[in-house]
């Protein structure tokens, strides 16, 4: 199994297992302090999209997620990226599939990590965010290819 798929599978399993635990151990919308004043565990059902936007319209992400998964898979199998790009793609795939499973199975995404000042999130959200930040950093810090100068001799 490739690193891309191993990372995606680890994220998917961690995400789904943490959601299974949260639904069995936490009461809906009742914060439990993990680090008081900093981090709480609060079980929520997000029917919207990122940051709780468009509540009740989370189904809109289903076709988009299918396209992302198909695009990532095609790109990986076509170009076989290595290193950090492969890791970031695995994070994105695992996170996308974790939230996709919730939306298809339940009609909402299970979230549980609560900072109090930020929308409640889950492991899939963390993986997606890290991958997108990583891709932006790669683009920002990547050395641009320098065009090679061509010297054409001119004829008198």
Tell me, yes or no, whether 64 lies in a domain. yes
Asked whether the beta carbons of 37 and 114 are under 8 A apart, the reply is: no
Tell me, yes or no, whether 18 lies in a domain. yes
**Rounded to whole angstroms, how far apart are CA atoms 64 and 150?**
44
114 is catalytic: no
Instruction: Say whether pLDDT at 109 is over 60.
Output: yes
Q: What is the pLDDT of residue 52?
A: 73
Q: Which of 15, 102, 114, 125 is catalytic?
A: 125
Q: Which of 15, 102, 111, 114 is catalytic?
A: 111
111 is catalytic: yes
Q: How many structural domains are present in the chain?
A: 1
**Rounded to whole angstroms, how far apart are CA atoms 49 and 41?**
20
Quote the percentage of the chain above a pLDDT of 90: 80
Tell me, yes or no, whether 112 lies in a domain. yes
Give 119's pLDDT tier (boundaries 50, 70, 90): very high
- Give residue-wise pLDDT tens across range 67-107: 999 999 999 999 999 999 999 999 999 999 999 999 999 99
Tell me, yes or no, whether 146 lies in a domain. no
Tell me, yes or no, whether 151 lies in a domain. no
Average pLDDT score over residue span 114-142: 95
Tell me, yes or no, whether 55 lies in a domain. yes
Tell me, yes or no, whether 150 lies in a domain. no
Tell me, yes or no, whether 105 lies in a domain. yes
Beta bridge partners of residue 39, listed in sequence order = 35
Residue 42 belongs to what domain range? Answer: 3-138
pTM of the complete model: 0.88
Average pLDDT score over residue span 23-51: 95
């Amino acid at each position: 199994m490739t690193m891309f798929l191993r990372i995606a599978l680890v994220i998917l399993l961690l995400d789904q297992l943490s959601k299974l635990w949260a639904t069995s151990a936490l009461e809906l919308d009742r914060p439990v302090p993990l680090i008081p004043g900093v981090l709480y565990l609060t079980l929520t059902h997000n029917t919207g999209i990122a940051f709780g936007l468009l509540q009740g319209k989370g189904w809109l992400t289903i076709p988009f997620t299918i396209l992302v998964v198909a695009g990532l898979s095609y790109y990986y199998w076509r170009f076989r990226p290595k290193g950090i790009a492969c890791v970031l793609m695995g994070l994105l795939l695992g996170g996308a599939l974790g939230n996709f499973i919730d939306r298809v199975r339940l009609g909402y995404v299970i979230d549980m990590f609560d900072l109090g000042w930020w929308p409640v999130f889950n492991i899939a959200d963390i993986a997606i965010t890290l991958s997108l930040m990583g891709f932006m950093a790669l683009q920002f810090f990547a050395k641009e290819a320098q065009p090679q100068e061509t010297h054409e001799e001119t004829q008198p």
